Chain A
């Protein structure tokens, strides 16, 4: 019954409803100024870090995939990269391309879900996607079609759409049949058209203008828009190896939240995700996606978090276009994976989950047993920035009524597509005035 977090729901005589797992937002206002914003987020990876200790290094992709039903590939890819790093192994180009194709499937599925079913209703005055479907059935059908195409890519390459079973350390258990991969081309062409329509659609939304002063962090992968590999870079000059970056990421426990808050050592909070990827890599977008971004009015960097839905849509175009190119160039890796013995060591894997940078670090012994695990998900890295956004949104909206302010706050949180355990109304806002 879980949704990512495993939070339970209740069945009463009237049926099913979510009753637990919500976040809460507490805002303190003093003399008309927001003095404190506290957003509570439940975060599951901590449990998984403990669970991974004592398991074999080859089990990490399958175990970590279960952290999230939306982005299991991200967890699998970072786990594989970390274990291969620990053992000094590099996979061949065909395996790397197949991983990128699988990851594109997840981007398509995840971005379509977020844009159409979760975020667009905020901009269109709809309570939810069902209301949006009643208002604009064609749009929701387009979104669901995109999601289906993403799922199909994941099924073909990963064995199934949710928690793929074909991924292993070193590559894949089985190389997908070339005919099955080729059959993805037509759906991807249609999806690419639908993604272009998506950019055009969201660019017409009435978008609040509340830019933030962000420190962006994303991978850079020379010659490519970053997905499954790259070096962590920042908008203020950081250019680090994954291992150097991992040492810089400091996470703090905060009493009010079960989530850790990440900072780069000695510096301000930072933001990962579509806005950051775009800011650091817009010059790497292929022409189709770059033209769509320009037509939507985006410059090379976007500081307005409410425009993240536009940037996410541009990335949707990219993911469809990239997946199609990979499908057309597909050559089955043979063998589908490289086998290698474990060795004592430390490995870091950093990849770009749809909602931001996902880091995993493992220490394994000579038998391949995991001694220590660290998982830093995007939401933990973004949480302080999300709070800063909320502070700005609340300060700007103190004149709004409670319902309208809550609406704007939820919209603001959704700008960054965080993994939050969900409740029917996830934010309980209490404004404490002094």
Chain B
């Protein structure tokens, strides 16, 4: 791996037609442009689309609007692997007609040896997931900080010596 550039991919999950759900793609695009490094593989509307796109990455950053009950606009950073080799934090019961959640996709990628070395989720607490365009004020106010955090994560990864 001497001299190989570390591969960083950034994926914004969500739809900008669902108000705050559009935060992920927006933040991902801005962060990659600002960092001048990493590859934006979004917008991603289905976590399954990460398969193939993130294969072999040293770091995959997934930016997503979330709802966990805290104040809208709250920024959360979640490591989806424990020390790079642990199980994802959640085992999603993955029977559905049409998709698999992010944790399930990561488990699947790891089962076939195609997972990124490290997966970090940058979540922004959303407020309005209704149909329509535009972020809510609280989420919009958090966008610069979220972009900054993603840029920091990208910058932490140096080319392999």
A64 to chain B: closest CB distance in Å? 11
Q: Is B149 an interface residue (CB 8 A)?
A: no
- Indicate whether A88 reaches chain B with its CB closer than 8 angstroms: no
Please report the C-alpha to C-alpha distance between residue A68 and residue B44 in the assembled complex, in whole angstroms: 11
Cα separation A389 to B57 with both chains bound (whole Å): 43
* Partner among A117, A162, A418 whose Cβ is within 8 Å of the Cβ of B100: A117
From A173-181, A202-210, A342-350, A419-427, the one touching the partner chain is: A419-427
CA distance A313 to B57 in the complex (A): 31
Q: Which of A205-226 contact B (CB under 8 A)?
A: none
* A360 to B90 CA separation, bound complex (whole angstroms): 40
Q: A14-B90, A118-B97 are in contact. Are A3 and B111 (CB under 8 A)?
A: no
B108 touches A133 (CB 8 A): yes
A255 within 8 A of B: no
What residues of chain A lie closer than 8 Å to B97, measured between beta carbons?
23, 118, 410, 413-414, 417-418, 420, 422, 426
Closest Cβ of chain B to A105, distance in Å, is: 13
Whether, in the assembled complex, B89 has its beta carbon less than 8 Å from a beta carbon of chain A, the answer is yes
Q: How far is the CA of A129 from the CA of B47 in the complex (A)?
A: 14
Residues in A neighbouring B95, C-beta threshold 8 A: 121, 127-128, 410, 424-426
Q: Known: A69-B44, A426-B97. Contact between A10 and B51, CB under 8 A? A: no
Contact A130 B46 (CB under 8 A): no
Interface residues of B in 37-73 (CB under 8 A from A): 42-49, 51-53, 64-69
Contact with B along A403-423 (1 / 0, CB 8 A): 000000010011001111011
Contacts of A48 in B (CB 8 A): 17
**Cross-interface CB contact of B45 among A3, A140, A418, cutoff 8 Å:** A3
* B36 lies within 8 A of chain A by Cβ: no
A410 to B96, CA, bound (A): 8
- Which residue from chain A places its CB closest to the CB of B125 in the assembled complex? A11
- Is A15 at the interface (CB under 8 A from chain B)? yes
- Taking CB atoms, residues of chain A closer than 8 Å to B68 are 10-12
Interface bits B101-122 vs A (CB < 8 Å: 1, else 0): 1111001100110100000010
What residues of B have a CB within 8 angstroms of the CB of A147 in the complex? 51-52
B111 touches A1 (CB 8 A): no
Q: How far is the CB of A195 from chain B (nearest CB, A)?
A: 17
Minimum CB–CB distance for B157 against chain A, Å: 23
B13 contacts chain A at the CB level, 8 A cutoff: yes
Given the complex, which residues of B lie within 8 Å of A9, measured CB to CB?
66-67, 101
Contact status B48-A1, CB under 8 Å: no
> How far does the alpha carbon of A124 sit from the alpha carbon of B75 in the complex, in Å?
41
Contacts A162-B45, A422-B99 given; indicate if A141 touches B93 (C-beta within 8 A). no
Complex contacts, A117 vs chain B, CB 8 Å: 48, 100, 108
Q: Annotate B2-45 by CB proximity to A: 1 below 8 A, 0 otherwise.
A: 00000000000111111001001000000000000000001111
Residues of B within 8 A of A417 (CB): 97-98
Give Cα A69 to B64, complex, Å: 16
Interface size on A, residues (CB 8 A): 56
User: Cα distance A66–B16 when bound, in Å?
Assistant: 9
Contact of A424 among B17, B78, B94, B126 (CB under 8 A): B94
Cβ-defined contact, B46 with A70, below 8 A: yes
When each residue 1-32 of chain A gets 1 if its CB lies under 8 Å from chain B and 0 otherwise, what string results? 11110111111101111100001000000000
Q: Which of A9, A148, A413 has the most CB of B within 10 A?
A: A9
Q: Does A99 count as interface, using CB distance less than 8 angstroms?
A: no
Instruction: List, in ascending order, chain B residues with CB within 8 A of A134's CB.
Output: 111
Interface residue? B158 (CB, 8 A) = no
A162 touches B43 (CB 8 A): yes
A353 to B14, CA, bound (A): 22
Taking CB as reference atom, which chain A residue is nearest B40?
A160
User: A329 to chain B: closest CB distance in Å?
Assistant: 26
**How many whole Å from A116's CB to the nearest CB in chain B?**
10
Choose from B14, B80, B103, B123 the contact partner of A6 (Cβ within 8 Å).
Answer: B14
Bitwise, A140-166 to B at CB < 8 A (1) or not (0) is: 110010011001000000000111000
Q: Which residues of B contact A11 (CB under 8 A)?
A: 66-68, 76, 78, 123
Complex interface bits, B121-161 against A, C-beta within 8 A gives 1, otherwise 0: 10100100101000000000000000000000000000000
In the complex, the answer to whether A140 meets B108 with C-beta atoms within 8 Å is yes
Pairs across A and B, CB under 8 Å, 10 listed: A6-B131, A9-B101, A14-B89, A16-B66, A17-B101, A51-B131, A117-B100, A127-B93, A137-B111, A425-B95
Residues of B near any A CB (own CB < 8 A): 13-18, 21, 24, 42-49, 51-53, 64-69, 76, 78, 80, 88-90, 92-104, 107-108, 111-112, 114, 121, 123, 126, 129, 131
A1-B66, A9-B66, A163-B43 known, 18 other contacts, Cβ within 8 Å: A3-B45, A4-B99, A6-B14, A6-B17, A8-B67, A10-B68, A23-B97, A66-B45, A69-B44, A70-B46, A128-B94, A144-B51, A144-B114, A147-B52, A151-B53, A410-B97, A417-B98, A424-B96
